[in-house]
Amino acid sequence: MSSRRPVESASEPPSVFLSLSTVQANRSLILSAILAIAAGGFAPSTTSFAAQHQAAKPAAHKAAAQKKASVTPPSVTPSAEPGGPPALAAKAWLLMDYDSGQVLASENPDEPLPPASLTKMMTSFLVEQSIRSGKLKKDDLVSVSEHAWCRGSSTESCMYLPLNGQATVMDILRGIIVQSGNDASKAIAEHLAGTEDNFAKLMNAEAKRLGMTHTNFVNATGLPDPEHKSSARDLAILARAIIHDSADFYPIYAEREFTYNKIKQGNRNALLYTDPTVDGLKTGHTQEAGYCLVTSSKRNDMRLITVILNTNSMQARADQTRALLNWGFSRFEKAVPIQPNAQVAVAKVSFGKADTVPAVLGAPWTITVPKGQKLETAAQLNPDLQAPIAKGAVIGKVVATSGGKPVAEAPLVAQADVERAGFLLRMWQHLLRLFGK
């Protein structure tokens, strides 16, 4: 077995559980290290008892002062506002409700930042959608060009595909998601689009379709480039699309390890090993991007998505994600403002065989609100509705408010068809409107 161990994207230093020389022989050490990272890291080393007593008091005081000065500030601190989210030492972060897409809390959610290997969520998403559409088959073979090959590097994360070799689409997909392979990402980009530059165009087109308005992809890997950016909100939108549109492939994002070419590599998302409610999605790191993490967790009937960008360590991104999830699940709950089949309002219709049409929800409506919050709803119908109106056509919206502030809204649709009236009836209705009746 090879002893080469990859690091995230371009420059992530080997983690405690990724830098061991022989993975299979030290599997227990790997899992122990992961648990230690997620639980708060290893205890700091100290000088021996004898050495402490041999030192003079002034030297001891000086060493203590230096140690105190070098302590890293905590990455998570209590909120400054009662009941508010924890304060996180990250450049940007976001908490989103999966079902509704509501942003429950955030800091700098729209600032374009280097996303590092979080980029590979778009790469894997395009692969998944290509399989679903039939453009790719799971057992198709993907060739490895010199551009894609990692050259045996230990300075970037690799699947370790052999030069001029081939791998199946599904192995490539796991190499992207679990092993964060730059070689896998480049190889599939060339397979789908001819070149990585052309694949980046596909990535940007999909980002635009999804509404990722603060994103620009230059490559398939997240390797540093001044023009390669995304935001916390955009990455949450992408994560939501993966969970919803790639349901057949989403379990791969929870896989803890993958072996290819006799090299076993573990997933770098430490929460997958310590929180059974976490089932994805992706880690990332470069020197410029810092340590990043996009995570999804489902507890009971609620799924939350978190994004952490540019924090200072693997432990920090795990701690911050854990704190944000715990706060979100303890603070919020699901609410159904209106039952799906309930009539919300009656809309007036002009020039139709019927004068009115019932307005109902177009789809089941569930929103996430602070626990115990009371909601009120009000319908807002489109003015001057005229026949013909098709069943299911949007004819207004309903707005949910709490304490007079809007919380969420949903479209209202016509419950039935309204046919256009005949000529004589329409003329009579024109006259009634003319005289204000």
At 391, list the tokens. Answer: 């069943």
Contact yes or no for 278/257 (Cβ under 8 A): no
- Look up 180 and say whether it is catalytic: yes
Q: What's the CA gap between 341 and 363, in Å, rounded?
A: 9
Using alpha carbons only, give the angle 157, 204, 258 rounded to the nearest 5 degrees.
25
Using alpha carbons only, give the angle 258, 263, 266 rounded to the nearest 5 degrees.
40
Residue whose entry in the numeric block shows the structure tokens 């689409």: 169
The neighbour count for residue 386, using CB atoms within 10 Å, is: 12
Contact yes or no for 169/177 (Cβ under 8 A): no
Which distant-in-sequence residues (6+ apart) come within 8 Å of 338 by Cβ?
344, 361, 365, 377, 398, 410
- Look up 117 and say whether it is catalytic: yes
Pairing outcome for strands 257-260 and 263-266: antiparallel
Catalytic member of 9, 15, 106, 117: 117
- Look up 350 and say whether it is catalytic: no
C-alpha distances out from residue 21 to 3, 29, 262, 269, 304, Å: 5, 12, 14, 20, 36
Catalytic member of 9, 75, 91, 120: 120
Catalytic member of 106, 180, 185, 297: 180
Q: Any idea which residues carry the catalytic annotation?
A: 117, 120, 180
